[in-house]
């Protein structure tokens, strides 16, 4: 039998699009366990070029040293010294007098060594100069890409929670922009090949650079509640339709974040404790939810599927839609456009445009149903 359930906050959805639901429980658990490719490849090529050059220079030095020891019968230090001053062409006099064979060998060392010296010097300069140029050009391309983004999500904070959050969102959402001003975390963002803005997330200029005017949603997971409150205030002033999800460290901060303009406020600590309690009280249910919510499993997933008004399944009952028979999926809930939630809907429950179905089943079948429910999406 259907059981109606209304959203506790009673707040309307932002007009900028569907709000995103972020599972902080999953993030709490995981805490314990664009084209950057070309730039990366180019950097690796330059580094490889430099390494090969240094290896060749060392090889010539070794060959020269051994050569003088064999041709002239010198000791190791004299042979090494002669090789180095010959390759570097510093112009010092010979260590000892050399015979005809030694002079021929010296000529070969000069010709070969000078060439390789220039080659090594060029490789070093190339590595240093190209690295700076590449960094500047890469930043410009990044800025251009940021300007073209629309309906993207801004993640403010790339600490422990932020990094796990981004890792999970990237599996389904490609347009993400991460904001942080910690130099170490900026390095991590570069390594993870993310679109990012280096700066203070509480500053208007930084949020504008991240494209807040065209963004669909923002997640505030900064280190302190004070920063999160200030960020939410600033973001809400810049975009009144933005879906804002904020992290709260204490119960008192929840009300402040709501008052500042957050659409949803979550406490990882509270939800983590709740999850551990449920693990004790309902271990089988918790295990099932882990399986259903894990994106690493293909045999069973739980997914929310929006219904387009022009879908052939719109305005049909669950029984007439044939979802169970055709897609082998179970619809466990329907969220109506008004925010009313129907749990365990009956076969007579009506599917309407702008509803959202919560379904469980295999990933390929969920994908097929998503296409049927949103044919032009």
Residue 264, classed as helix, strand or coil, is: strand
Question: Who wins on pLDDT, 347 or 31?
Answer: 347
- State the pLDDT confidence band at 300, using cuts at 50, 70 and 90: confident
Q: What is the pLDDT at residue 238?
A: 96
Tokens of 86: 């010959």
Q: Structure tokens of 31? A: 């805490």
Question: Looking at the DSSP assignment, which residues form a beta bridge with residue 5?
Answer: 341
> Residue 7: how many CA atoms within 13 Å on its side-chain side?
12
- What is the topology classification, in CATH, of domain 39-144? Helix Hairpins (1.10.287)
**Mean local confidence (pLDDT), 30-49:** 51
| pLDDT, averaged across the chain | 80
- The whole-number pLDDT of residue 136 equals 52
| C-alpha triplet 126, 127, 130: angle, nearest 5° | 70
- Give the alpha-carbon dihedral of 344, 346, 350, 352, to 10 degrees: 10
Q: Calculate the dihedral angle through the C-alpha atoms of 168, 169, 172, 177, rounding to the nearest 10 degrees.
A: -140
Written as six digits, the tokens of 211 are 């494209």
Neighbouring CB atoms inside 10 A of 86's CB total 24
Burial 209-232 (b: 16+ CB within 10 A, else e): bbbbeebbbbbbbbeebebbbbbb
**Distances 354 to 63, 307, 330, 358, 372 between C-alpha atoms, Å:** 77, 5, 19, 13, 14
Q: Which class in CATH covers the domain with range 9-17+151-276?
A: alpha beta
**Which tops the pLDDT comparison, 140 or 314?**
314
Q: What are the structural domain ranges in the chain?
A: 9-17+151-276, 39-144, 297-373
Percentage of the chain lying above the pLDDT 70 cut: 75
CA distance 302 to 307: 16
Q: What confidence category does residue 96 fall into, taking pLDDT thresholds of 50, 70 and 90? A: confident
How sure is the predictor about 19, in pLDDT bands with cuts at 50, 70 and 90? very low
Distance of CA 100 to CAs 87, 103, 107, Å?
19, 5, 11
Partnered with residue 197 across adjacent β-strands are 179
* Dist CA 163 CA 96 (whole Å): 64
Question: Can you give the pLDDT at residue 168?
Answer: 87
Fold observed for domain 297-373: Alpha-Beta Plaits (3.30.70)
Gyration radius of the chain's alpha carbons = 32
pLDDT bracket for residue 79 (50, 70, 90): confident
The Cβ of residue 157 has, within 10 Å, a number of other Cβ atoms equal to 25
pLDDT in tens, 121-169: 776 666 666 555 555 555 667 777 888 889 999 999 999 899 999 998 9
Residue 89 banded pLDDT, cuts 50, 70, 90: low
Average pLDDT of 171-192?
Answer: 88
Cβ neighbourhood burial of 285 (10 Å; 0-12, 13-18, 19+) = exposed
Tokens of 307: 């219904």
Nearest to residue 363, comparing CAs of 308, 285, 313, 295? 295
Tokens of 289: 């939810």
SS3 (DSSP) at 250: coil
Q: CA-CA distances (angstroms) from residue 292 to 232, 240, 282, 298?
A: 32, 34, 15, 9
Q: Is the pLDDT of residue 4 over 50?
A: no
Predicted local distance difference test score (pLDDT) of residue 275: 83
Phi, psi of 101 (to 5 degrees): -65, -40
Give the Cα separation of 157 and 245 in Å (integer): 13
- For the stretch 253-299, pLDDT in tens is 999 999 999 999 999 888 888 889 988 998 888 887 777 776 566 66
From CA 116, how far away is CA 45, in angstroms rounded? 19
């Amino acid at each position: 039998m259907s059981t109606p359930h209304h959203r506790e906050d009673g707040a309307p959805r932002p007009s900028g699009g569907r709000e995103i639901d972020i599972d902080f429980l999953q993030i709490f658990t995981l805490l314990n366990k664009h084209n950057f490719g070309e730039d990366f490849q180019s950097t690796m090529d330059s580094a490889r070029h430099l390494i090969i050059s240094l290896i060749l220079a060392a090889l010539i030095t070794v060959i020269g040293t051994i050569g003088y020891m064999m041709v002239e019968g010198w000791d190791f230090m004299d042979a090494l010294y002669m090789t180095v001053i010959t390759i570097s062409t510093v112009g010092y006099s010979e260590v000892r007098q050399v015979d005809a064979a030694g002079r021929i060998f010296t000529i070969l060392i000069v010709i070969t060594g000078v060439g390789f010296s220039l080659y090594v010097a060029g490789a070093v300069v190339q590595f240093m100069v190209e690295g700076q140029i590449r960094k500047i050009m890469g930043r410009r391309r990044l800025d251009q890409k940021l300007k073209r983004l629309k309906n993207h999500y801004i993640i403010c904070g790339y600490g422990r929670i932020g990094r796990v959050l981004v890792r999970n969102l990237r599996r389904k959402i490609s347009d993400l922009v991460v904001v942080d001003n910690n130099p170490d975390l900026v390095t991590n963002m570069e390594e993870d090949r993310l679109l990012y803005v280096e700066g203070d997330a509480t500053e208007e200029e930084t949020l504008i650079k991240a494209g807040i005017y065209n963004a669909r949603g923002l997640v505030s997971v900064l280190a302190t509640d004070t920063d999160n409150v200030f960020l939410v205030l600033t973001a809400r002033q810049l975009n009144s339709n933005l879906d804002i999800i904020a992290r709260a460290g204490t119960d008192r901060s929840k009300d402040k974040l709501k008052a500042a303009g957050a659409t949803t406020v979550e406490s990882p600590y509270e939800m983590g404790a709740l999850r551990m309690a449920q693990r004790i009280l309902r271990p089988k249910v918790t295990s099932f939810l882990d399986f259903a919510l894990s994106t690493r499993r293909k045999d069973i997933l739980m997914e929310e599927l929006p219904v387009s008004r022009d879908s052939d399944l719109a305005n049909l009952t669950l029984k007439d839609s044939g979802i169970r028979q055709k897609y082998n999926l179970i619809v466990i809930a329907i969220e109506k456009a008004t925010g009313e939630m129907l749990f365990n809907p009956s076969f007579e429950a009506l599917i309407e445009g702008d509803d959202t179905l919560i379904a469980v089943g295999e990933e390929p079948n969920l994908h097929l149903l998503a296409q049927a429910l949103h044919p032009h999406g």
